[in-house]
Amino acid sequence: MYKVIYPTIITGLLVLFTSVMLSLFSKSWDPKSKHCYVTGGSSGLGLAVAKLLVSKGAHVSIVSRDARRLENAMKELEAVRTSPHQILRYYSYDLVTAAGSREALDAVCEPHQGKNPDAIFMLAGSCHPRFFIEETEETMRTQMDQTYWVQAWTALEASKRMVRDKSKGKIVFHSAYIGYITLIGYAAYGPGRMALRALADTLRQEFLLYDIDVHIAFPGTMYTPGYDIENATKPKITLKIEETDPGVTGDQYAKGLLRGVQNGDFHISPDLLGNIFRASMRGVAPSGNFIVDSLWNFIGWIGLPIWRMSVDSTVKGHKKEHEEYLTSKGFCMFCLNAGEAGLHTDQI
Amino acid sequence: MYKVIYPTIITGLLVLFTSVMLSLFSKSWDPKSKHCYVTGGSSGLGLAVAKLLVSKGAHVSIVSRDARRLENAMKELEAVRTSPHQILRYYSYDLVTAAGSREALDAVCEPHQGKNPDAIFMLAGSCHPRFFIEETEETMRTQMDQTYWVQAWTALEASKRMVRDKSKGKIVFHSAYIGYITLIGYAAYGPGRMALRALADTLRQEFLLYDIDVHIAFPGTMYTPGYDIENATKPKITLKIEETDPGVTGDQYAKGLLRGVQNGDFHISPDLLGNIFRASMRGVAPSGNFIVDSLWNFIGWIGLPIWRMSVDSTVKGHKKEHEEYLTSKGFCMFCLNAGEAGLHTDQI
């Protein structure tokens, strides 16, 4: 690979410049009259995206587990419909298994003559941070279900159908800042969020074979019902580190997400910090404007190590308080004999 | 975070320069007389690392599933021991569950008066690439077991013990190039490899609370028994894209890995391509020499988009051959009616 770099630097710059120019004249995707399937669509970001899509004239199907929340969400969707012909539906399924995801897709396609959705927004999931040594086999697996599998199964089932039927479409994954830059407290959550990024990166390339578009969004703090659940188990030190993140509402983020999808962006990070993280974790993901992204890369190159050193120093300063916390939780911090005390994955 | 960047650019450069200078005078970790636990130690990279550790005077315990392979591996370890006092042991356990990983740790610590290992090298796992739409629920879950869980459980069980006993030590994860830069064919494998990176990144920071060191290695193609297994299911297009990767032997990579651990490197990528990938996916991971890493970042910034465009073009050029492949496998590529044919996760 590296053998070709030097003679092609100028060519590369020209190609990138040309693609930026071309993108200025490309037509953006319009959700009007499209069938959009939104998982996790009964609350938070899912509901915000579903409402936005309905307000733009799309047919929208939402799926989540809680039937009562779905009913309330449907009222909000009905309130913003722009035409009596829009098909708005809600379904209750658990998407953390392949079977549940398949059944949900069957149900969602039914009012559309069995046709696959034109776009799938995978926004279901939840976050439960805690210290790694407090995790158990169950909490680790549940967090992987709620980050990775809840999207991976829908992507798998949907893409099999799309390839079988030769239908084009969009698959939109949903990661988080933590999918770029993890923090203390996210040892169970971060891996699933980064795993989604790997899946999206792979599928973006693989689905060039089928003309299926792949997107993935990386939001930061969002003030949604899920945020309160997340903070219930979040270690104090993590809350402290995150207190400078200003955060946005689900409605605010939904607009940025949909704009990214409409523009054809692959990694969607519609804010300053997200862009710095994206450029510092770009890998081979197609990026946006070369000049602007060079700036994000430079800022991240200088700024992120400084930020990391500051966070590391905060963590080290938390040692004493953490020892007290562990002692209060029953961890024996002063046993020299391994047999004396302690706890295993199945004992917490 | 970004508010502090501009006034601290010079300070940051000075801090980085100082840390590079300090690292030149720091003492490297010596495995002599340490107890090193190597998972996957009966073949491939695991065996190569175990042999290297034995040759440097460490007590070594290896764990894998295959009892016969373990016996043969033990003969190789015995052949390179440097002292009759070295404790060399092998154990057969399946590490893809928390319980198996706990039992293995119990067994491994037993000849050492129950003391935790000084260093844990997690080198078990396997790779089974295929096209995403050919994956099933079972193959997806198995690949997550063989990439992520096989290391996550050992890390979880070991860190609980280390915190309980206040024992220091090293935990070494093992990802791959694909944990930085995924490719067509790795939709099940890449997510687990990148998930490990997220886990390692989180734990590096979290374990500052306990003075436990975390490392993670990112090897490319390695000519080991696992490589032949991997190539048995690898799509032709993936083989074609990878044919320019020169590859190394397990013994060659083991040396680079151990050197990285001894030097205290966090992300270990001891080759040119690995370094370019690392710098392009650095996030907030502590890096090496600032000047050298700036060069890798620059090369990646220019070179990787060009490489990606070339790979994308190769994938697009594979469309016709892929359609023929899918037809031969029973995928109906020309059915317009969704009910006519097709296959679900549980039907392949």
In the 3-class helix/strand/coil scheme, how is A289-344 assigned residue by residue?
Answer: CHHHHHHHHHHHHHHHHHHHHHHHHHHHHCHHHHHHHHHHCCCCCCCCCCCCCCCC
Q: Which B residues 230-259 touch A at CB under 8 Å?
A: 244
B187-196 residue pLDDT tens: 999 999 999 9
Sign of the CA dihedral running B272, B278, B281, B284: negative
Residue A191 CA: distances (Å) to CA of A145, A182, B249, B341: 11, 9, 29, 36
Q: Inspect the interface and report whether the beta carbons of B156 and A345 lie closer than 8 Å.
A: yes
DSSP characters for B146-175? IIIIHHHHHHHHHHHHHHHHT--EEEEEE-
Select the residue of B109, B157, B193 nearest A345 (Cβ to Cβ): B157
Q: Which residues of A touch B102 (CB under 8 A)?
A: 344-345
Q: What is the pLDDT of residue A27?
A: 78
Q: Tell me, yes or no, if B27 comes closer than 8 A to chain A by beta carbon.
A: no
- Give ipTM to 2 decimals: 0.90
* Beta-sheet pairing, B169-174 with B119-122: parallel
Q: Tell me, yes or no, if A305 comes closer than 8 A to chain B by beta carbon.
A: yes
Q: Directed axis angle between helix A290-317 and helix B5-25, to 10°?
A: 60
Q: What is the pLDDT of residue B325?
A: 93
Phi/psi at B345 (nearest 5 deg)? -50, -40
Q: What residue type is assigned to position B86 of the chain? A: Q
Q: Inspect the interface and report whether the beta carbons of B205 and A183 lie closer than 8 Å.
A: yes
A189-223 b/e with 16+ CB inside 10 Å = b?
A: bbbbbbbbbbbbbbbbbbbbbbebbbbbbbbbbbe
Q: Directed axis angle between helix B44-55 and helix B67-79, to 10°?
A: 30
Is the predicted pLDDT of residue B335 greater than 60, yes or no? no
Q: What is the pLDDT of residue B23?
A: 53
Contact B315, B240 (CB under 8 A): no
CA distance B132 to B117: 39
Supply A80's token pair.
Answer: 């913003």
CA distance A207 to A195: 18
Q: Which residues of chain A have pLDDT under 50?
A: 1-9, 11-12, 15-16, 334-348
**pTM here?**
0.90
Q: Which B residues 272-301 touch A at CB under 8 Å?
A: 272-273, 276-277, 280-284, 286-287, 294, 297, 299, 301
Q: Inspect the interface and report whether the beta carbons of B181 and A284 lie closer than 8 Å.
A: yes
Q: What is the pLDDT of residue A4?
A: 41
Select the residue of B180, B202, B337 nearest A183 (Cβ to Cβ): B202
Segment B218-238 shows an average pLDDT of 90
| Residue B326 neighbours by CB distance under 10 Å | 19
Contact B122, B151 (CB under 8 A): yes
CA distance A38 to A21: 32
pLDDT-above-90 percentage for chain B: 79
Is the predicted pLDDT of residue B346 greater than 60, yes or no? no
Q: Which residues of B touch A180 (CB under 8 A)?
A: 283
Taking the CA of residue A118 and the nearest CA in chain B, the distance in Å comes to 14
Contact B31, B54 (CB under 8 A): no
Segment B106-125 shows an average pLDDT of 97
B269-325 residue pLDDT tens: 989 999 999 999 999 999 888 899 999 999 999 999 999 999 999 999 999 999 999
CA distance B326 to A190: 35
Where would I find the beta strands (DSSP E) of A165-324?
A: 169-174, 212-217, 222-223, 248-249, 267-268
Select the residue of B195, B282, B333 nearest A192 (Cβ to Cβ): B195
Q: How confident is the model at residue B21 (pLDDT cuts 50, 70, 90)?
A: low
First to last CA, chain B: 49
Select the residue of A184, A190, A283 nearest B199 (Cβ to Cβ): A190
Q: How confident is the model at residue B264 (pLDDT cuts 50, 70, 90)?
A: very high
Taking the CA of residue B76 and the nearest CA in chain A, the distance in Å comes to 31
What SS3 state is found at A101?
Answer: helix
Supply B133's token pair.
Answer: 């739409």
Select the residue of A199, A286, A303 nearest B191 (Cβ to Cβ): A199
CA distance A61 to A67: 14
Q: What is the pLDDT of residue A226?
A: 85
Q: Inspect the interface and report whether the beta carbons of A163 and B294 lie closer than 8 Å.
A: no
CA distance B65 to B58: 23
Supply B141's token pair.
Answer: 């879950």
Q: Which residues of A touch B16 (CB under 8 A)?
A: 305
Sign of the CA dihedral running B259, B265, B268, B271: negative
CA distance A219 to A204: 19
Q: What is the pLDDT of residue B178?
A: 96
In the numeric block, the tokens 């037509």 are attached to A27
Q: Inspect the interface and report whether the beta carbons of B195 and A198 lie closer than 8 Å.
A: yes
Instruction: Give, for B91, the enclosing helix (H) or strand (E).
Output: strand B88-92
Q: Inspect the interface and report whether the beta carbons of A2 and B137 lie closer than 8 Å.
A: no
CA distance B161 to B150: 18
Q: Tell me, yes or no, if B302 comes closer than 8 A to chain A by beta carbon.
A: yes
Select the residue of B98, B287, B342 nearest A160 (Cβ to Cβ): B342
HSE-up (13 A, CA, CB side) for residue B42: 16
Q: What is the three-state SS of B100-120?
A: HHHHHHHHHHHHHCCCCCCEE
Taking the CA of residue B80 and the nearest CA in chain A, the distance in Å comes to 31
Q: Inspect the interface and report whether the beta carbons of B187 and A203 lie closer than 8 Å.
A: yes
Phi/psi at A274 (nearest 5 deg)? -60, -40
Q: Tell me, yes or no, if A216 comes closer than 8 A to chain B by beta carbon.
A: no
Q: Inspect the interface and report whether the beta carbons of B181 and A16 lie closer than 8 Å.
A: no
Q: Tell me, yes or no, if B139 comes closer than 8 A to chain A by beta carbon.
A: no
Q: Which of A28-37, A310-319, B5-14, B47-56 has the lowest mean pLDDT?
A: B5-14
Q: Inspect the interface and report whether the beta carbons of B198 and A191 lie closer than 8 Å.
A: yes
Q: Inspect the interface and report whether the beta carbons of A301 and B297 lie closer than 8 Å.
A: yes
Q: What is the pLDDT of residue A23?
A: 53
CA distance A328 to A44: 35
Select the residue of B133, B186, B192 nearest A160 (Cβ to Cβ): B133
| Residue B84 neighbours by CB distance under 10 Å | 5
Taking the CA of residue B69 and the nearest CA in chain A, the distance in Å comes to 29
Is the predicted pLDDT of residue B128 greater than 50, yes or no? yes
Q: What is the mean pLDDT of chain B?
A: 89
